[in-house]
Structure 1
Amino acid sequence: MASILMLTAATRRERNDATSFVFDAINACGGWIEDVHMYSNKMTTVRLALPGTAIEDLIGSLIDGGIAVDPPEAPASSDDRERRVTLQLTFLHDEPDLMRDIPAIPG
């Protein structure tokens, strides 16, 4: 079993727009999203599965869409077997942290 490919990326695109773009790019490359964690308005991590041959296509799509991706440490796969990938996307902006009200729970 291949190890998880970890990608790191950063963008100045608006957070919601960039996140939607990433999701669409993953789907367009034949992948699917397994899990997403959003950390305030500073960072989002996406756990996904993707055919091994589509990794370079995904990286190219993200770069073309204004998302800078660091080169992966492990080489992309040359076969079509499913590959697990994590993408850490950092949002570069001057906005304050996103604060959400936590509702009071009786009891």
Structure 2
Amino acid sequence: MKPKPLLLQAVTTADRHQAVTAACDSLATHSGWVVDAHFYSNKAATIRFTIPIVTLTNWLDDLRKAGLCVDEPAPPAQGTAEEISGSLAITFIHDEPDLAREIPSIPG
């Protein structure tokens, strides 16, 4: 039986580039991988991932060491699955103005 996806939330005052890089690098260190990532201006990011269940706790510890405040998730249901999928929503706390992106005009 495949466990339900994890829905993790984190907040940080760390630089957003460093926080996202730390989360992704640490995920790879623990034999996981990024499935998808979305960035919402400079306010938030969402990373969808898959990671072996046995390395999940170590990955969460690494996130905390990198300055992300992540709540302890409920333990995944025991089953035959070796991996678990989930998403990590990171909110960045800072005083910077919203990051404006120029949208190019489309001819036609």
Query: Structures share a fold, TM > 0.5?
Result: yes
Q: Which residue of 2 aligns with 1:69?
A: 70
Gaps of 5+ in 1: none
Give the 3-state SS of the residue equivalent to 1:53 in structure 2. helix
Deviation at 1:17, TM superposition (A): 1.2
Pairs aligned (count) = 106
Is the 2:3–2:77 Cα contact (8 Å) retained in structure 1? no
Superposition TM-score, scaled by structure 2 size: 0.91
Give the 3-state SS of the residue equivalent to 1:23 in structure 2. helix
Between the aligned residues of both structures, percent identity stands at 39
Q: Deviations over 1:1-46 (max 9, x none)?
A: 2100111111111111111111101001110000001111111001
Is the 2:3–2:76 Cα contact (8 Å) retained in structure 1? no
Q: What amino acid maps onto 2:75 in structure 1?
A: P
Q: What amino acid maps onto 1:6 in structure 2?
A: L
Q: What amino acid maps onto 1:75 in structure 2?
A: P
Q: Which moved more, 1:3-12 or 1:74-83?
A: 74-83
Q: What amino acid maps onto 1:89 in structure 2?
A: I
Q: What amino acid maps onto 1:27 in structure 2?
A: A
Q: Which residue of 2 aligns with 1:21?
A: 22
Which stretches of structure 1, 4 residues or longer, exceed 3 Å deviation after superposition?
76-80
Gaps of 5+ in 2: none
Is the 1:55–1:76 Cα contact (8 Å) retained in structure 2? no
